[in-house]
Structure 1
Amino acid sequence: MKIIIASQNPAKIAAAQQALDRLFPAVSTSITGVAVPSGVSAQPFSDEETRLGACNRARAAQQACPDADLWIGMEGGVARLHRQLQTFAWIQVLGQGLDNGARSASLTLPSFVADALEQGEELGDAMDRLFRLTNCKQAGGAIGVLTQNALSRTQVYRDTLILALAPLLNPAPYAVPARQTNPGPGNPA
């Protein structure tokens, strides 16, 4: 199976490799990372912008490498929820009849990190500067730093990708047409 990851970030590529190894242990996979634009801000600042970035990346990867079986876009972002800034990711998968996304768990950011982001810094850069790190976004990310490596960016992205692949793993329930919830004229409930 040929898979294109819409990123050259080692943490994202590792997440995809781990997810696919877990889901398809008997299938030989070839994973390639390609740099493609997200079409959104360098630091997405809403759920919708982050989701759009993942979708745009998956579609751009599909256009750049059309001969693959799956194209995966991963986009990390932040959004404000109840006066707290939280980080999360959206993952979009295209291919084999699949066009599906999943949102990761969220992590509340410390206020001094949130302040840096609101001043225009990207999360990875702010984490590097504030915690005196080097390129943490290509390792455990803010998740690793703030959970003392109990979780990493790779683990969270891996699990989110598994969720996005659920319709491919278990296609029958997803093939059932949705029930009509609001019958129109001539369609009694």
Structure 2
Amino acid sequence: MKIVVASKNPVKLKAARLGFETYFDNVEVEGVEVDSGVSDQPKSDAETLAGAENRVNNAKQNYADAAFWIGIEGGIEYGVSGIEAFAWIVIKAAENYGRARTTSFQLPPQVAEYIKEGYELGEANDIVFNQVNSKQKSGAVGLLTNGKVSRTVLYKQAVELALIPFLNHKLY
């Protein structure tokens, strides 16, 4: 079964593969570059969801030879406790779609300050944690949990949940 992920980020590709392998055999994942149509650092729930929707729609339109298409968009949102990070996952097939949001977590004040200065979350993490390209590795959640929860693990569960409509055709 071919799955097109609207990204070449290895974390997103692995999360998609692992999430699908929870329910399906013979999963083949291909990553493609498409435009999200939102800012490089989405700063609201709505903008992040729009980015995931745009990614999946662009992938489906430009790479038609798949059983499923997946858009994954990480974002942040200003809340009462500071800035929180999360992601939206949107999965489409020929006639159906599913979507799920990851759990969110609070970012440390030092990372939040860099974001307020205009840095993307990944860049801010790299500065604060003295890393290189952390967004394609463990991400903020991995850095903040000492590797106990990785970005892949965070996204995998949301992929599994976004597949619910495909597992329950009669209800959706």
Please give the range of the TM-score, normalised by the shorter of the 2 chains. Answer: over 0.9
Q: Which runs of no fewer than 5 residues in structure 1 stay unpaired?
A: 175-189
TM-superposed CA distance for 1:170, in Å, is 1.9
Partner residue in 2 for 1:63:
61
SS at match of 1:162: helix
Aligned structure 1 segments of 4 or more residues deviating by more than 2 angstroms:
none
Which residue identity does 2:91 align to in structure 1? V
Partner residue in 1 for 2:105:
107
TM-superposed CA distance for 1:172, in Å, is 2.2
Cα RMSD between the aligned structures? 0.9
Q: Deviations over 1:99-143 (max 9, x none)?
A: 221111001000111111111100111101111011111111001
TM-superposed CA distance for 1:96, in Å, is 4.0
Q: Deviations over 1:16-71 (max 9, x none)?
A: 111111111xx312110001110000000000000000000000111110111100
Which residue identity does 2:5 align to in structure 1? I
Partner residue in 2 for 1:35:
33
Which residue identity does 2:110 align to in structure 1? F
Which residue identity does 1:156 align to in structure 2? L
**What is the CA–CA distance in structure 2 between the aligned matches of 1:98 and 1:76, rounded to whole Å?**
23
**What is the CA–CA distance in structure 2 between the aligned matches of 1:105 and 1:41, rounded to whole Å?**
21
Partner residue in 2 for 1:12:
12
**What is the CA–CA distance in structure 2 between the aligned matches of 1:56 and 1:173, rounded to whole Å?**
25
Which residue identity does 1:168 align to in structure 2? F
Q: Which runs of no fewer than 5 residues in structure 2 stay unpaired?
A: none
1:139 lines up with 2:137 in the alignment: yes
> Structure 1 stretch 95-104 or stretch 58-67: which is displaced more?
95-104
SS at match of 1:23: coil
Which residue identity does 1:81 align to in structure 2? G
Partner residue in 2 for 1:86:
84
Which residue identity does 1:23 align to in structure 2? Y
**What is the CA–CA distance in structure 2 between the aligned matches of 1:41 and 1:151, rounded to whole Å?**
26
CA contact (8 A) 2:74 2:85 kept: yes
Which residue identity does 1:173 align to in structure 2? L
Equivalent residues, number: 172
Q: Which one has a bigger Cα radius of gyration?
A: 1
Partner residue in 2 for 1:50:
48
2:93 to 92, 95, 111: 95
